[in-house]
């Protein structure tokens, strides 16, 4: 199961936070601080996996954004890396050449897309087309109403 997903910039500004288990607010802030410090301190050519407490942290940098995903110890790291990639692809397909600004100004859409892709810390749907269709159709609903 995934525990949380964080997106932050190179300056450490948080752009998206998704928590898959209930955690008190103070704890969340602490975790965010620790993650940003840990990930931003990594050397460029190191591997994408870290051990932190009893979780594995998978991180990857896309342009100016760091994607940081925490998974439980028995989960597959390479797959988690591809989960991140799949999410980026979904964002890309929806926004067209997605960049950080898109996520800043349309943060609620980023969460909606995430909800179609992952739910309760598990993968819900891996087909890019299907997820995209869901989001597009909700946009159509918007325009109609």
Partner 1 sequence: MPAVSKGDGMRGLAVFISDIRNCKSKEAEIKRINKELANIRSKFKGDKALDGYSKKKYVCKLLFIFLLGHDIDFGHMEAVNLLSSNKYTEKQIGYLFISVLVNSNSELIRLINNAIKNDLSSRNPTFMCLALHCIANVGSREMAEAFASEIPRILVAGDTMDSVKQSAALCLLRLYKTSPDLVLMGEWTSRVVHLLNDQHMGVVTAAISLITCLSQKNPDEFKTCVSLAVSRLSRIVSSASTDLQDYTYYFVPAPWLSCKLLRLLQCYPPPEDGAVKGRLVECLETILNKAQEPPKSKKVQHSNAKNAILFEAISLIIHYDSEPNLLVRACNQLGQFLQHRETNLRYLALESMCTLASSEFSHEAVKTHIETVINALKTERDVSVRQRAADLLYAMCDRSNAKQIVAEMLSYLETADYSIREEMVLKVAILAEKYAVDYSWYVDTILNLIRIAGDYVSEEVWYRVIQIVINRDDVQGYAAKTVFEALQAPACHENMVKVGGYILGEFGNLIAGDPRSSPLVQFNLLHSKFHLCSVPTRALLLSAYIKFINLFPETKATIQEVLRCDSQIRNSDVELQQRAVEYLKLSSIASTDVLATVLEEMPPFPERESSILAKLKKKKGPGAVSVTELEDSKREGGELNGGGDRGPDTSAMSASNASTPSPSADLLGIRSSAPAGTAPASAGNLLVDVFSEAGPAAPSAAVNDDGFLSSAPPSEDPAPPLSEADELLNKFVCKNNGVLFENQLLQIGIKSEYRQNLGRMYLFYGNKTSVQFASFTTSVSCPGELQSHILSVQLCFSIFRNYQSLKSDFWSTVCKTILNRSKFQNLHPSVIVI
CB atoms within 10 A of CB 36: 20
Stretch that binds partner 1, among 3-11, 49-57, 64-72 (CB under 8 A): 49-57
Rounded to 5 degrees, what are φ and ψ at 124?
-100, -45
Residue identified by tokens 């932190």 is 52
Q: Convert residues 94-123 into a mask of x (bound to partner 1 by CB under 8 A) and - (unbound).
A: xx-----xx-xxxxxx-xx--x---xxxxx
Which listed residue (11, 26, 46, 97) binds partner 1 by CB under 8 A? 46
Which listed residue (10, 63, 64, 78) binds partner 1 by CB under 8 A? 78
- Rounding to the nearest 10 degrees, give the CA dihedral for residues 18, 20, 22, 24: -30
| Cβ proximity of 66 and 47 under 8 Å | no
| Cβ proximity of 66 and 59 under 8 Å | yes
Binding site for partner 1 (CB under 8 A): 14, 17, 22, 29, 43, 45-51, 54, 74, 76-79, 81-82, 85-86, 94-95, 101-102, 104-109, 111-112, 115, 119-130, 134, 137-139, 141-143, 145
């Amino acid at each position: 199961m995934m525990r949380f997903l964080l997106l932050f910039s190179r300056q450490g500004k948080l752009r998206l936070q998704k928590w898959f288990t209930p955690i008190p607010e103070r704890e969340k802030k602490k975790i965010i601080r620790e993650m940003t410090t840990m990930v931003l301190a990594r050397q460029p050519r190191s591997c994408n996996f870290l051990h932190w407490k009893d979780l594995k942290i998978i991180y990857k940098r896309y342009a100016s954004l760091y994607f940081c995903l925490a998974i439980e110890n028995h989960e597959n790291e390479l797959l988690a890396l591809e989960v991140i990639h799949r999410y980026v692809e979904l964002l890309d397909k929806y926004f067209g050449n997605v960049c950080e600004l898109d996520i800043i100004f349309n943060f609620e859409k980023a969460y909606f897309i995430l909800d179609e892709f992952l739910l309760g810390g598990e993968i819900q749907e891996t087909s890019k087309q299907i997820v995209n269709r869901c989001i597009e159709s909700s946009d159509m609903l918007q325009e109609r109403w």
